Amino acid sequence: MREQIRKVIISLFKFAGIGIIRYDTLQSLKTQASAYKKMKKDIDFLASLDENKVGKTLRHIHLLLKSKAQMRQDLFVLAELDFKRDGFFVEFGATNGIRLSNTYLLEKEFGWRGILAEPARVYHKDLKKNRNTNVDFACIWNKTGQTLNFNETDDPVLSTISDFSSKDRYSETRKYGNTYSVNTISLMDLLRKYDAPYRIDYLSIDTEGSEYEILKAFDFDAYRISIITCEHNFTDDRQKIYDLLTSQGYKRRYQDLSSVDDWYVLQ
């Protein structure tokens, strides 16, 4: 009887265009799909590189397995800088120093040093443990010394200054976050605090909405930054960031590859 009922149910689902599979089979298919998606992203990355960069990048193909960056920003930076060693980076938000980190590979495999900034408290302990470079827990903003409300979300990579919580497509996700006060520091003052060199190889900005406010307060004559990757999440600020950075001599690269980021190289 039970087998007959099972067959009837399966037939009804088939009629509706729905298949039934075992849970462990479903999980296996999800894993395979995820691996395929990641492999396709890597192929797209390699196919998009300038011809003169492909050869050396292929000689470092093993780094694909070590990259933590969501869109392979770390490999883009390395390819642009001819796989430079002992460079200098600045990254915020830095999460726990590993998850979706654009600079972990640079530090661990190429001897880079730099500055990491992350205001979300949930990450502080692990960030200090995972990375061997300067770490700051202030919130990067357009001014130093302010106190702002910060929204730490259930998925903390989406945490942001409270005033920006509803600015992009993740507004619903941020509705039930944990809010607390954070102290701010400007990008200029952050660089001065840690004696950053005049020539900075890479700046990674991912603050879930406040990127333009931070950049427009920055003095581009005071420091020379070779590469900037900046999240935009397809908000209106994307054009403002583009106008600002191109006016400072930057060229946007690989738009088809960079997704919710834009990648800029100083010309």
Q: Which stretches of the chain are DSSP H helices?
A: 2-15, 23-48, 51-59, 73-80, 104-110, 124-130, 187-193, 211-216, 237-247, 255-258
Compute the distance between CA of residue 68 and CA of residue 88 in angstroms, rounded to an integer: 18
State residue 160's pLDDT score: 85
Minimum mean pLDDT range among 17-21, 140-144, 232-236, 237-241: 17-21
Compute the distance between CA of residue 188 and CA of residue 222 in angstroms, rounded to an integer: 8
Confidence of residue 154 (pLDDT cuts 50, 70, 90): confident
Helix (H, G, I), strand (E, B) or coil at 107: helix
13 domain residue, yes or no:
no
Domain extent at residue 251: 26-136+196-266
**What is the domain count for the chain?**
1
Instruction: Report whether 133 contacts 126 (CB < 8 A).
Output: no
Rounded to 5 degrees, φ, ψ at 17 are 80, 20
Percent of the chain with pLDDT over 90: 59
- Whether pLDDT at 216 is above 80: yes
Compute the distance between CA of residue 49 and CA of residue 55 in angstroms, rounded to an integer: 10
Taking the mean position of all CA atoms in its chain, how far away is CA 263? 11
153 domain residue, yes or no:
no
* Residue bearing the bigger pLDDT, 23 or 161: 161
- Whether pLDDT at 112 is above 70: yes
- 18-68 tens-digit pLDDT: 666 666 665 665 555 555 566 566 667 666 667 677 677 777 778 888 999
Instruction: Report whether 73 contacts 205 (CB < 8 A).
Output: no
* Residue bearing the bigger pLDDT, 21 or 98: 98
State residue 224's pLDDT score: 98
Minimum mean pLDDT range among 19-23, 124-128, 135-139, 252-256: 19-23
* Residue bearing the bigger pLDDT, 211 or 166: 211
172 domain residue, yes or no:
no
State residue 176's pLDDT score: 77
Rounded to 5 degrees, φ, ψ at 217 are -90, 0
Instruction: Report whether 136 contacts 190 (CB < 8 A).
Output: yes
Compute the distance between CA of residue 141 and CA of residue 186 in angstroms, rounded to an integer: 5
Q: What is the pTM of this model?
A: 0.81
Q: Which long-range contacts (CB under 8 A, 24 or more apart) does 262-266 make?
A: 262/229, 262/230, 262/232, 262/238, 263/73, 263/76, 263/227, 263/228, 263/229, 264/227, 264/228, 264/229, 264/230, 265/80, 265/226, 265/227, 266/224, 266/225, 266/226, 266/227
32 domain residue, yes or no:
yes
Count of Cβ atoms closer than 10 Å to residue 109 Cβ: 17
52 domain residue, yes or no:
yes
Minimum mean pLDDT range among 43-57, 91-105, 150-164, 222-236: 43-57
- Whether pLDDT at 8 is above 60: no
Percent of the chain with pLDDT over 70: 79
Compute the distance between CA of residue 229 and CA of residue 187 in angstroms, rounded to an integer: 15
* Residue bearing the bigger pLDDT, 188 or 45: 188
110 domain residue, yes or no:
yes
Query: CATH code at 54?
Result: 3.40.50.150
261 domain residue, yes or no:
yes
Confidence of residue 201 (pLDDT cuts 50, 70, 90): very high
11 domain residue, yes or no:
no
